[in-house]
Every structure is written in structure tokens, then in C-alpha cells.
Amino acid sequence: MTLQSVRAFVAVARAGSFGEAARLLDVSQPTVSGAVARLETHAGTKLFARELGGVSLTEQGQRVLGLAERLVRAADDLAEALTPAEPDVLHLGFMGEAASSVTGQIVRMAQQRLGRPVQLRRFDFDDPSCGLASGRSDLAIVWPPLTSDDVDQVVVTTDRRAVALPVADPLAGRDEVRPDELGDRHWVVPRSPDPAWSAFRHPRAIGVVPLGTVDSGSVEETLELVAAGAGVALFSVSTEQHYARMGVVIVPLTGDLYCTAALAWRRPIDRPVVADIVADIRAMNLPLR
């Protein structure tokens, strides 16, 4: 088992195909296929089910994905710690569900202020602050609410709340679903240290008492669990634009149920460029619905 094979496995799980994973890793598709094959040989079983138009995780693949993601993140953290810091670099953290169309505007604005490219860092459910709490990010596109008292934020976009359903679910073909129609199901809920963030993503937040829950550590893992029939999950309507997944349908919820994405930063602001970017965002007339 090598880090290369684990990294390839995580990339394929996130991308949903070997070709897209190869593009993201900037290697050839045979390189990715060979790395995953070596990991499957080590595991003694298949980690992906090859399907027309893509791949899906097997039961064993679902079990090891969270551990593999943590291993890759730890390796990236180590590589970063061993690399000399660049004082003029601005790190912008983000979580997949908060990656809205506004993110591109914020990145371009930050790059204009900084005079150089912004370094993007992706985070999962284990850090909803997207690096602000640990100091790994200077700014972050987050998915409120957050528990921390040391973080300020300004909402940059809102979205309707939605439920992710397996395609075989009787409600999957509906234009909208009422929350009270979802009480007889198991739910996939985020595994996160932030209580406010986790509570907002629990079915009780929309008045639903689940039959049972299954923990997940990332957007990708959640969608894989939904596709496998382990449960349904709360998301936003725009999830489908950023994380289209075979076997999963995103259906809007009825009622006045919305979630937000926000630009967030640590208090007090100790970099003038961060203060300038925050001021620019506050001055923008961003559509909130």
C-alpha cells in the first residue's frame, strides 16, 4: 500500500470516474487505474464497482473512504509544514457545499487585491471553519452556522434546502418534498466537532425525527452512502451542480427553508489585504435568493 495508491483511490471516489480523477491529479488514466488496482490487490477485494458512465464505491470502498481521506489530508499537511512559508500568499478555504457561483467572484477580487493567485484549500466535515480555527486559512467560504466566537462572516448567497434521495426512493421523482414526508427513513448526518454546524444539518432541524442515522465525514461520502441506500441527507439545491452523483437525486424541500454560504475571517484581522477584501465583499450587491 502506497500513498500514491490511496491518493488515487480518494480522487476516483470524489470525481466519480478514472478519467476525471486523472485530470485532477495531472497524470494519465492508466496511472490512476494501476494505482487503484494495487490498492485493491492489497485489500483483497474490489473498492469500486465499474459502471456505464462512471464508478461507484463498493461496500468495502465506503468503509475505507473516510480513513483514506484523512490519510491524504495528513500527508498534505505534512508536505505543507515542510515547505517554507510564503508571506504574501493568501489562503482561501472552502467546503464543497459552500462552493457557489459567488466563490469565483471572491477569488478574482482577492487576486486583484493581492496581485497574485490565491491558494485554495478544500476542507471536509471535520473542519467546518475551513481552516480559520487552525490558522490554515486567511479567509474561507463557509456554510453557516458556526459555533466559534472568533470568526466573523458576511453572507454571500442563499440557497433552498433540499434532500438527497436514492433514485429508487418513491419521492425521487417529485418537484418538491415536504419535510413531514421524510420521517420514515434513515438519515446520513455529518460527523463534525462543531455542534451548531452539525445540528443545522440534522433532520431534527427541519422537524424530522429519523428512524436512525449514519455518520459521514464529507460531501462525497454522504452522496455515496445515499446512492448505496444507507439513508437520505440534507443538502442545498445547488449541490447537484457541484456534486452530481449517479444514483442520487436532489429534491427541494417545501416551506421557508434556506441555507447560506458566507465569507468568513478570524477576529481581529491582522492583514490589510484581508480587511480590503472583506470591505469589497460588503460593498457588493450580492443577490441573496
The pLDDT of residue 234 is 96
The pLDDT of residue 99 is 53
The residue type found at 78 is: L
CATH T-level topology, domain 3-81? Arc Repressor Mutant, subunit A (1.10.10)
Reference 64, options 1, 122, 15; nearest CA is 1
The pLDDT of residue 84 is 58
**Contacts with 121 (C-beta within 8 Å, 6 or more apart), sequence order:** 91, 92, 93, 94, 130, 131, 136, 137
Q: Where are the domains of the chain?
A: 3-81, 89-289
Residue 183 has pLDDT above 90, yes or no: no
Residue 206 has pLDDT above 80, yes or no: yes
pLDDT digits (tens, 9 = 90+) for 106-129: 888 888 888 888 888 888 898 999
pTM, two decimal places: 0.71
- What is the residue-averaged pLDDT of the chain? 87
The pLDDT of residue 140 is 93
The pLDDT of residue 289 is 43
Instruction: Please provide the size of the chain in residues.
Output: 289
Q: How far apart are CA 142 and CA 223, in angstroms?
A: 19
Instruction: Using DSSP bridges, classify how beta strands 54-57 and 48-51 pair: parallel, antiparallel or unpaired.
Output: antiparallel
The SS3 of residue 195 is helix
The structural architecture, per CATH, of the domain 89-289 is 3-Layer(aba) Sandwich (3.40)
- For range 233-256, the mean pLDDT: 86
The number of beta carbons lying within 10 Å of the beta carbon of residue 51 is 12
